[in-house]
Amino acid sequence: MNVSLRQIEVFLAVARTMSFSQAAKLCHLSQPALSANIKRLEDTLGARLFDRHTRKVALTPVGHEFMSMAAAMTENMALALIRVQDFVAGKRGRLVVAAAPSMAASFAPGVIARFSQRHPDVDIELHDVLSDVCVEMVRSGTADLALAPFMQKADDLVQLELFRDPLVVICPAGHALTQRAEVRWRDVQAYPHIVMNSSSGVRQLIDTEFARHNVRLRPAFEVAHVGTMLGLIAAHLGIGELPESLIENIGLVGLVPLRMHSAAAYRTICAITPKNRSPSPSAALFVELCAQIAQQRTGLAVGVRRRRRTR
């Protein structure tokens, strides 16, 4: 059975006006064209919908039954169109965000809070996972976007730069480094180091910085959790480096964070989306908000260029 939406609109116009001429005007059709639409609809249903008299039109019993169903169909269609329009406007839907642990603890909550205020009917799901996992979730479509450090060899991704996340040195209070006006990489090399294990992106950045200064890193302790690292540092067993974003919401009782002088010691945090898959409207709005908040955070122009290469 093939009934068009136009035929239903024409039928309802006649049923509500009980006049073929008035219905034709409402539907912007000639009266013969309107009558032809009604005839095709009746042929499809296999029953008459109207009893036609010289100056009177009346619904048949089938017409009465079909009218209630046709009205419900058009109402459902109107509601469906409203829902689609809300989705297109980013007012409704589901958004899955994958965030590296430091971003999930610092940057992402503020973005999510502001986004939820603006778009309360969008359901947001947050996954705090390692950077590599974030990127794989985006590639597989499990996540709409990721907040993570810039990834090399990722031509299949759009990586919008948000801000630089510098490393800071974490020392116990009273440590000799806290007496320096500024701390350089050569200053930290002589002290025992407590580092995250090799699966951590932060560890890879630290290894790169040590290698750049022709020094091999020999950790005093290698750990899997930031809490363990901070505990060992607080016990005066060494010092360590962590991203500034990671320590924003961590209580550093007995510890002192020292910013590094070297401009090279930073991560570039990006909003990452797939290049060959259109983002949902809510994902596009979320990325836009990330850029706005990042600009407010840094006081620098974020720019709209998409980064493909880095140092």
Give Cβ neighbours of residue 25 (< 8 Å, ≥ 6 apart). Answer: none
Of the two residues 263 and 303, the one the predictor is more confident about is 263
Per-residue pLDDT of 195-228, as tens digits, reads: 998 878 788 888 888 888 888 888 999 998 888 9
Please provide residue 299's backbone torsions phi and psi, each rounded to the nearest 5 degrees: 75, 15
pLDDT tens track for 57-72 = 899 988 888 888 888 8
Q: Which domains does the chain have, with CATH numbers?
A: 5-88 (1.10.10.10), 93-159+269-298 (3.40.190.10), 163-266 (3.40.190.10)
Amino acid at 21: S
Cα 59 to the center of its chain, rounded Å: 52
Per-residue pLDDT tens for 274-311? 998 888 888 999 999 999 999 887 654 333 334 433 33
pLDDT at 101: 87
Give yes or no for a contact between 31 and 21, defined as CB atoms under 8 angstroms apart. Answer: yes
Q: What is the pLDDT of residues 83-119, one digit of tens each?
A: 666 666 666 678 999 999 889 988 999 999 999 999 8
Query: In the predicted model, what is the mean pLDDT of residues 21-28?
Result: 91
Three-state SS string over the chain comes to CCCCHHHHHHHHHHHHHCCHHHHHHHCCCCHHHHHHHHHHHHHHHCCCCEEECCCCEEECHHHHHHHHHHHHHHHHHHHHHHHHHHHHCCCCEEEEEEECHHHHHCHHHHHHHHHHHHCCCEEEEEEECCHHHHHHHHHHCCCCEEEEECCCCCCCEEEEEEEEEEEEEEEECCCHHHHCCCECHHHHCCCCEEEECCCCHHHHHHHHHHHHCCCCCCCCEEECCHHHHHHHHHCCCCEEEEEHHHHCCCCCCCEEEEEECCCCCEEEEEEEEECCCCCCHHHHHHHHHHHHHHHHHHCCCCCCCECCCCC
Backbone angles phi and psi of 220, in degrees to 5? -75, -35
